[in-house]
Amino acid sequence: MAEAGAGKQTQGVKTLLGDPKKAIIKLSIPMVVAMSAHTIYNVTDAIWVAGLGPESLAAVGFIFPFFFMAMAVASGVGIGLYVSRLLAQLMNGELDCVSADGRTEFRLTLPVADPIRLETSPIGAAAS
């Protein structure tokens, strides 16, 4: 499938492939905004639950850290896979996911421009 402007890099691609610090900052901004909105929602929810009584507030306060740990793991895995898939596609590769028998396997396939040839010696060969 041919794309218009194939071979040209957009500013976003140049940022991702250029300065890693700048790329990480650019990629983290949407996550910071989304997680901040979610935190505001949870704090507002805790204030509302406080009106229901101390037991209800204690329940929300107890579950809050566990919820955020689960959210952090889920966000990290999902966003990491998405970015990995985009980078693989950018390099004309593929990131595949295969799930079977309770296992999930991720396969990253990237094209090789020039194969690397390693000079090896037979195992156990005597040095002369």
21 vs 57: CA distance, rounded Å: 40
Amino acid at 105: E
Q: How much is the pTM?
A: 0.37
- Residue 65 CA to chain centroid, in angstroms? 22
* Whether the Cβ atoms of residue 79 and residue 71 lie closer than 8 Å to each other: no
Amino acid at 92: N
Element of type H or E holding 1:
none
* Whether the Cβ atoms of residue 26 and residue 20 lie closer than 8 Å to each other: no
Give me the tens of pLDDT residue by residue for the chain, a chain 128 residues long. Answer: 445 555 677 776 777 677 777 778 888 888 889 889 988 987 888 788 878 888 887 887 788 788 778 877 777 777 777 778 888 888 888 888 888 888 888 888 888 766 555 565 555 555 54
* Whether the Cβ atoms of residue 71 and residue 38 lie closer than 8 Å to each other: yes
